[in-house]
Amino acid sequence: MSMTITEKILAAHAGLKHVSPGENIWIDADVLMTHDVCGPPTIGIFKKEFGEKAQVFDKNKVVIIPDHYIFTKDMHANRNIDILREFAREHNLPNYYDVGGERYKGVCHVALAEEGWCRPGDVLFGTDSHTCTAGAFGQFATGIGNTDAAFILGTGKLWVKVPETMQFIIDGKIPPHIMAKDIILQIIGDIGVDGASYRTMEFAGSGVEAMTMEDRMTLCNMVIEAGGKNGVVAADAKTEEFVKARTNAPYKIYQNDMDAKYHSTWYYKAEELTPMVAKPHSPDNKASVREVQTEKITRAYIGSCTGGKFSDFVAAAEILKGQQVAVDTFIVPATTEVDRLLRTTMIDGKSMMQVFEDAGAQVGKPSCAACLGGPADTFGRTHGEEICISTTNRNFPGRMGSKSSQVYLASPYTVAASALTGKITDPREFLG
């Protein structure tokens, strides 16, 4: 019986030869990831249900990456980090990336890839909806709640309903001004914020094959914005090179069977793609940049698991170098590794960090920062009627802090170009 990549990974982790969409199965987790927002309640449920002295299912498979509310005076947020630290100490967890030292990473989904936790054929559960980012590596990766995470913490297992797979084929040569973010905004706009509910979104075609790992991460990161359970890109030589450079752990590459069954298949011609935005207040509220290019903005934000990776800043720097921003512009590297690269990568004799600062942008410390609003003192958070254009992933009402603010989602190219003019701007105006 034929299967898709996702079905094969799930079958292998359930000890079954074959699974079909709609079946409820129990699967084994290879990695359980949590952070400072959902870790403390997960630990609370774990202790209540398994007992104060209970051991975790496998301390090598538990990964804790505080990243949400790190640089804040909020006492409750700071207490949550203390709870994680204490739990890691109590259980002698080797994979706790503590705040305030060399171990600190920043945004978990980017750090998971950097640290070799994203591996083809594995199952990754995380207490964050953007855990789906890791599908870029041919991994089954999905977001779960605290109760499910506590269950895994004690047992290493969770029930899942096998999802149907929707295929998105992007064929052809992607134009140089188009980023993965434009493509995923187009797709979400086409299928809607519930267009992939309970399903897998698989990305394939020559356009996807030509993408870097970071571009594939951007595609998979936002499948949750269409309601998807997971995103997936078939692992290839590029995936293997990335993974082998970061871990010696074994992995397994699965391919779709030739006659695998899909819920639906969507085709996109790369040459026809155009820079896109999602208008307030929904990620599926699509428009091409050309359609909204006179709209005024008062703020620009470049960061998050979606748009705070190194390549996102390389794109932004291409546009911002030697120019001056016209609106408040916030730069937040996803991780300490991205931050390091911004300080050490030179453009025309200046570090990228210097390029941003010289352009008048403010640079924050690696974390989730204002992507999801957060405590009042969060860097870049909205407090009033700001109109922000952002490389982040959600623009629901109040997402970046203030209920009266408005958020446009766009690619790093489009956000950088818009920062320079104070209105939504097609990046082709600044790209050679």
Rule CB under 8 A: which residues touch other proteins?
Answer: 24, 37-38, 40-41, 44, 48-54, 68-69, 74, 76-77, 79-80, 126-129, 131, 143-148, 151, 154-155, 159, 193-194, 197-198, 224, 227, 229, 282, 372-376, 394, 396-399, 401, 403
To other proteins, the closest distance from the beta carbon of 368 in angstroms equals 9
In the bound state with other proteins, the residue whose beta carbon lies nearer, of 149 and 319, is 149
User: Of 150 and 183, which has the nearer Cβ to other proteins?
Assistant: 150
Decide: 323 and 295 in contact? Cβ < 8 Å.
no
CB 282 within 8 A of CB 395: yes
For residue 158, give the nearest of 118, 134, 198, 125 by alpha carbon: 125
Nearer to other proteins, 178 or 222 (CB): 222
Residue 266 near residue 167 (C-beta atoms within 8 A): yes
Residue with the two structure tokens 């199952």: 123
Q: How far apart are CA 307 and CA 414, in angstroms?
A: 12
Task: State in angstroms the smallest separation of the CB of 256 from other proteins.
Answer: 22
In sequence order, the β-bridge partners of residue 268 are 170
Q: How far is the CB of 401 from other proteins (least distance, A)?
A: 7
Nearer to other proteins, 177 or 229 (CB): 229
Least distance from C-beta 150 to other proteins, angstroms?
8
Q: Considering beta carbons, is residue 62 or 420 the nearer one to other proteins? A: 62
Would you say how long the chain is, in residues? 432
Q: What are residue 141's DSSP bridge partners?
A: 124
DSSP track, 292-343: GTT-B-SEEEEEHHHH-SHHHHHHHHHHHTT---SSEEEEE-SBHHHHHHHH
Alpha helices in 26-162 (DSSP H): 39-50, 75-90, 108-114, 146-155
3-state secondary structure of 163: coil
**CB nearer to other proteins: pick between 74 and 171:** 74
Min dist CB 253 to other proteins, Å, is 26
Pick 45 or 170: Cβ nearer other proteins = 45
| 230 CA to centre of own chain | 12
Q: 80 or 139, CB closer to other proteins?
A: 80
Write the DSSP string, 268-300. EEGGG---EEE-TT-TT-EEEGGGGTT-B-SEE
Residue 32 phi/psi, 5° resolution?
-115, 120
Q: Smallest gap, in angstroms, from Cβ of residue 230 to other proteins?
A: 10
Q: How far is the CB of 83 from other proteins (least distance, A)?
A: 9
- Give CA–CA dist 212/163, Å, rounded: 26
246 vs 29, 117, 124, 126, 221, CA distance in Å? 20, 9, 17, 20, 20
- Comparing CB distances to other proteins, the nearer of 2 and 20 is 20
Q: How far is the CB of 107 from other proteins (least distance, A)?
A: 14
Q: How far is the CB of 151 from other proteins (least distance, A)?
A: 6
CB of 144 to other proteins, least distance (A): 6
With beta carbons less than 8 A apart as the criterion, state whether 334 and 313 touch.
Answer: no
**Looking at beta carbons only, is 94 or 397 nearer to other proteins?**
397
